Chains A and B, each alone.
Chain A
Amino acid sequence: MFSNPLIYFVVIPVIMLLGLYLSRSMAHIRTVAVTGSLCLLGLSIWLLVDYLGLRAAGAEGAMLYRGDWTWFSALNIKLSVGVDGISIAMILLSSIILLTGSFASWKINPLPKEFFLWLILLSIGVFGFFISIDLFTMFMFYEVALIPMYLLIGIWGTGRKEYSAMKLTLMLMGGSAFLMLSLIGIYYNAGLDSWNILDIAQADSIPHSWQYFLFPMAFVGFGVLGAMFPFHTWSPDGHACAPTAVSMLHAGVLMKLGGYGCFRVAIYLMPFAANELAWIFLILTGISVVYGAFSACVQTDLKYINAYSSVSHCGLVLFAILMLNTTAMTGAIMQMLSHGLMTALFFALIGMIYGRTHTRDIREMGGLMKIMPFLAVCYVIAGMASLGLPGLSGFVAEMTIFVGSFQETALLNRVFTIIACCSIVITAVYILRVVGKLLLGPVQNEHHLELTDATWWERTSTVTLIICVAAIGCFPNFFESLIRTTFSADIFKVIGM
């Protein structure tokens, strides 16, 4: 079992939990958190390189590094792992954000030990989810990732934290209730006595009548986490009240679980219903994209602006997945990566600014460019990535998505693609509004002039993220080929495209 490299994505965090439990001081806690996340990052980079090497050497099969260990033999539930290009991209994203998140919560207070314990438990869920290909284990890790959010927001959050934490938990668990029924339904109706995603997809044996019932449940179940309209309302409140590292992980990684799940479970296992019912969800996600962007325009709280912008960008991910063609889906995965990194950057910066000014209201701040130039420049870069400046990640992702979407000639797809395209303009409006008001305008508060710029751990966190954002923007080919290897393997033979 331990000869499989993927298992270490769960083992390392478990060891970290143990280390945290034994830590006695803040220094110990930081050491454990940073060392552990560095190990995870190193492992995921090694995995990326090795995976590309294997593919270049002609490795076949939809998933590599396969491992199967029987768990509940009676139901044929297994601990099955395996990764393809998409999962590797997501794993890489998660480990980067975990590392930068640890740096961003360098001075977390109170109860630092408990904070990191819950954060690492959350990351176990995230990594476990991305490496599993067994429906049961996948679902289990999915829920493991959800519940720590309650305590993380409830204890360390700001503002109306108890309300937001409860709302977020209940809505996400509500989604997972639908999901659980859908998974059990898939298991029984596929008639294979297997929970393995690849087997079920290969056989494609779920009766069409059942797909009409199970597909919407699975899609909505994951869609709640992907902030699909009208199930997105947890997202602004949750993000706004969460502590910095949690906002980063949540917007950066956890919301990607939704998109990834929609793709990997709902569409991949039930292609027929996906084709038939895509229009319903296309309309809903189209609304998310535009509605999120418009809502962001009128917010005055920095975190709310960014949370609504996340609704818009994550809506675009689901929107692209529903186009059901290779280009758009590649774009969707790129968008997940891009949005994960840039929104984490945003939340990290907002956390740092809030830590200094103690306000997130843009009406009470101004001229930060003079006061804290480093953070301000980073904020501008994040903003540019968000509105799609070429050379940064947002451009690559959105470009691919819209090119892919325009390939669909059906009227509905055309109309909604055009509507979704408008979001680019609206994004520019709210980003530039913030940049203008917050960074470049006159200084609003005399006391702000005494504030300091970023410390070394904050710089480490932001610079790492900026490098990643720029890397995707400058070398899109590399990431695209990573994702394409997956699509060329055999996923799309199954979906029939």
Chain B
Amino acid sequence: MDYSQFLAMKQEIALLAIFLIVFLYDTFMPKKVLTGLSGITTILFAAFTLAGFGLMCGHTESAFAGMYVTSPVIATIKNILNVGVLIVLIQSASWNNSETQSTRRGEFYELLLVTLFGMYLMISARHFLLFVIGLECASLPLAAMVAFDKHKYESHEAAVKYMLTAVFSSAIFMMGLSYVYLLTGSLYFDTIASSVGCLDAQPLLIVALAFVIAGVGFKLSLVPFHLWTADVYQGAPTAVTSYLSVISKGSAAFAFMVILAHCFGSVYSAVWEWMLYGLIILTITVGNLFALRQNNMKRFLAFSSISQAGYIMLGIIGNNAMGMASLMFYILVYIFSNLAAFGVIQAIENKTGKLDMSDYRNLYKSNPHLAFVMMLAMFSLAGIPPFAGFFSKFFIFTGALSGTTSVALYVLVLIALINTIISLYYYLMVVKSMFLSTEDPIIETFRSSCADRIGMWICTAGVIALGLVSYFYNSILTLCQNSGLLNAIV
């Protein structure tokens, strides 16, 4: 065996190294220095993230007989996720340093790094076996993370729900895979891609794809596979919820795109375009309609993230390079906007334990900075210029319509656009409660911890700069247009 192949997996190996350091530190170091764990992990991870940017100008490499692939595009999406994880780490520092966390601080970081490793595998896999390993590795430890608040009933309920849906969706996914194997005789993406083309829309292929889409759909919480989302988001500790809503969703979305566009690109219009079409409309609309009536901020963001997943899917349905770049850009912007919102929620929850939208009334009076960051996050999620969300929405719509003359897609985008108005309503409800209310604020003035403030500064800078500075989108699009993966797609 040629061991030099492992060199292709630089990012995975570095991540595992961090994991080992954290694990050994947590296990063998004396108790009194364990409080430094969050700082060490964050610093190590920051260094790792920075180093990762160097890989974006590398070239395509594959290992293990083509089961594993890495390329500049893949390195980029991993870097995007890394940035998100870094923000999550920073934001969770003050929660992790609290007294209740003292005995299980290490587990949080270890589980988080392992799930990230699983997501890396999902993104890089070019063989369904490796993909499933990644999928499981990314799902099961998350269930443990969801159950982290072990004294809270909701946390348990959420963990059981998450566990059951994760297992159930994996089963469905693998059922689909077995049909794909039956049809094509291989689990390699490339082989499937070449042999699926001559199958047309066989009923069995449609069933297989339906199962595959449903399996990943659970992970992405697409409607009608979304029922676990709100409860899990609400029950999990806020740090885990934010991780679940951006990182887990972002990686699944990218992997989903690779599967659909790469393996089944040739049956795009015959089989999965209309499936996705229906899913997108359902996801965006149902997510929005349920978000309208929420009062708990985490539940509210859960439904908002369901509808955001629908928008992310718009990048796939165009089946072109622009859509792919827009999807990556959307994930990047979504990470920053959503984490800005979760950062504020977490800071407030840590200090006061308040989680309801009605508790946020007149927040601007008592904590103007928090209210301001929250407003930016809401505007960005709603797609209001000049914040990044506007650009990502615009590009995802442009990507969906790129190179098409199909009126159906225009109708789809119109439906998505009308839904942005509904979403604007509920995002403005948060702004309304923070700014327009004249009653006395419930949340008292407090000073956020240093880490919280750093996290919010990063998110604010991202929300403002990611769109206005064209460098980010331009370079992602250039990468996508040059990538080998794309050649397989088009």
Task: Identify the A interface with B (CB < 8 A).
Answer: 71-75, 77, 136, 140-141, 143-144, 147, 150-151, 154-155, 161-162, 165-166, 169-170, 173-174, 177-178, 180-181, 184-185, 187-188, 213
B390 interface residue per 8 A CB criterion: yes
Closest residue to B480 on the A side, CB-wise? A74
Chain B residues whose C-beta falls within 8 Å of the C-beta of A77 in the assembled complex: 470
Q: Is the CB of B436 within 8 A of A143?
A: no
Q: How distant is A254 from chain B, measured CB to nearest CB, in Å? A: 16
Chain A residues whose C-beta falls within 8 Å of the C-beta of B401 in the assembled complex: 184-185, 188
Q: Is the CB of A73 within 8 A of B470?
A: yes
Q: How distant is B57 from chain A, measured CB to nearest CB, in Å? A: 18
Complex alpha-carbon distance, A174 and B421, angstroms: 6
Q: How distant is A33 from chain B, measured CB to nearest CB, in Å? A: 21
**Chain B 456-490 per-residue mask, 1 if CB under 8 angstroms from chain A, else 0:** 00000000000000100110011001000000000
Q: Is the CB of A177 within 8 A of B478?
A: no
Of the candidates A166, A177, A178, which one forms a contact with B425 in the assembled complex, judged by CB atoms under 8 Å apart?
A166
Q: Is the CB of B420 within 8 A of A154?
A: no
Q: Is the CB of A72 within 8 A of B473?
A: yes
Complex alpha-carbon distance, A154 and B375, angstroms: 14
From known contacts A72-B474, A188-B402, infer whether A143 and B425 are also in contact, taking CB-CB under 8 Å.
no
Q: Is the CB of B424 within 8 A of A169?
A: yes
Which 9 residue pairs are nearest across A and B when measured between Cβ atoms? A177-B417, A74-B477, A154-B436, A140-B385, A72-B470, A174-B421, A143-B385, A147-B384, A71-B470
Of the candidates B402, B435, B478, which one forms a contact with A151 in the assembled complex, judged by CB atoms under 8 Å apart?
B435
Closest residue to A210 on the B side, CB-wise? B405
Of the candidates B325, B397, B481, which one forms a contact with A180 in the assembled complex, judged by CB atoms under 8 Å apart?
B397
Q: Is the CB of B421 within 8 A of A150?
A: no
From known contacts A154-B435, A184-B401, infer whether A170 and B470 are also in contact, taking CB-CB under 8 Å.
no
Q: How distant is B407 from chain A, measured CB to nearest CB, in Å? A: 8
Task: Identify the B interface with A (CB < 8 A).
Answer: 322, 325, 379, 384-386, 390, 394-395, 397-398, 401-403, 407, 410, 413-414, 417-418, 420-421, 424-425, 428, 431-432, 435-436, 470, 473-474, 477-478, 481
Q: Is the CB of A169 within 8 A of B428?
A: yes
10 residue pairs bridging A and B, Cβ less than 8 Å apart: A75-B398, A140-B385, A154-B435, A162-B436, A173-B420, A178-B414, A181-B410, A181-B414, A184-B401, A213-B407
Q: How distant is B327 from chain A, measured CB to nearest CB, in Å? A: 15
Q: Is the CB of B421 within 8 A of A144?
A: no
Complex alpha-carbon distance, A187 and B478, angstroms: 20
Of the candidates A143, A180, A185, A187, which one forms a contact with B384 in the assembled complex, judged by CB atoms under 8 Å apart?
A143
Closest residue to B422 on the A side, CB-wise? A170
Of the candidates B385, B418, B431, which one forms a contact with A144 in the assembled complex, judged by CB atoms under 8 Å apart?
B385
Q: Is the CB of B397 within 8 A of A150?
A: no
Complex alpha-carbon distance, A428 and B322, angstroms: 56
Complex alpha-carbon distance, A185 and B425, angstroms: 26
Q: How distant is B321 from chain A, measured CB to nearest CB, in Å? A: 10
Complex alpha-carbon distance, A178 and B432, angstroms: 25
Closest residue to A153 on the B side, CB-wise? B436
Chain B residues whose C-beta falls within 8 Å of the C-beta of A136 in the assembled complex: 394
From known contacts A154-B436, A155-B436, A169-B428, infer whether A177 and B421 are also in contact, taking CB-CB under 8 Å.
yes
Chain A residues whose C-beta falls within 8 Å of the C-beta of B413 in the assembled complex: 181, 184
Q: Is the CB of A173 within 8 A of B421?
A: yes
Which of A162, A173, A178 lies at the interface centre, i.e. has the most chain B CB atoms within 10 A of its CB? A173
Q: How distant is B362 from chain A, measured CB to nearest CB, in Å? A: 11
Of the candidates B325, B394, B431, which one forms a contact with A150 in the assembled complex, judged by CB atoms under 8 Å apart?
B431
From known contacts A71-B470, A140-B390, infer whether A170 and B421 are also in contact, taking CB-CB under 8 Å.
yes
Q: Is the CB of B428 within 8 A of A174?
A: no
Chain B residues whose C-beta falls within 8 Å of the C-beta of A213 in the assembled complex: 407, 410
Closest residue to A125 on the B side, CB-wise? B385
Chain B residues whose C-beta falls within 8 Å of the C-beta of A169 in the assembled complex: 424, 428
Complex alpha-carbon distance, A169 and B325, angstroms: 31
Q: Is the CB of B398 within 8 A of A74?
A: no
Chain A residues whose C-beta falls within 8 Å of the C-beta of B421 in the assembled complex: 170, 173-174, 177
Q: How distant is B221 from chain A, measured CB to nearest CB, in Å? A: 24
Q: How distant is B384 from chain A, measured CB to nearest CB, in Å? A: 5
Q: How distant is A486 from chain B, measured CB to nearest CB, in Å? A: 28
Chain A residues whose C-beta falls within 8 Å of the C-beta of B477 in the assembled complex: 74
Q: How distant is B397 from chain A, measured CB to nearest CB, in Å? A: 6
Complex alpha-carbon distance, A180 and B384, angstroms: 12
Chain B residues whose C-beta falls within 8 Å of the C-beta of A140 in the assembled complex: 385-386, 390
Q: Is the CB of A74 within 8 A of B473?
A: yes
Chain B residues whose C-beta falls within 8 Å of the C-beta of A184 in the assembled complex: 397-398, 401, 413
Closest residue to B429 on the A side, CB-wise? A166
Complex alpha-carbon distance, A173 and B470, angstroms: 24
Complex alpha-carbon distance, A409 and B418, angstroms: 39
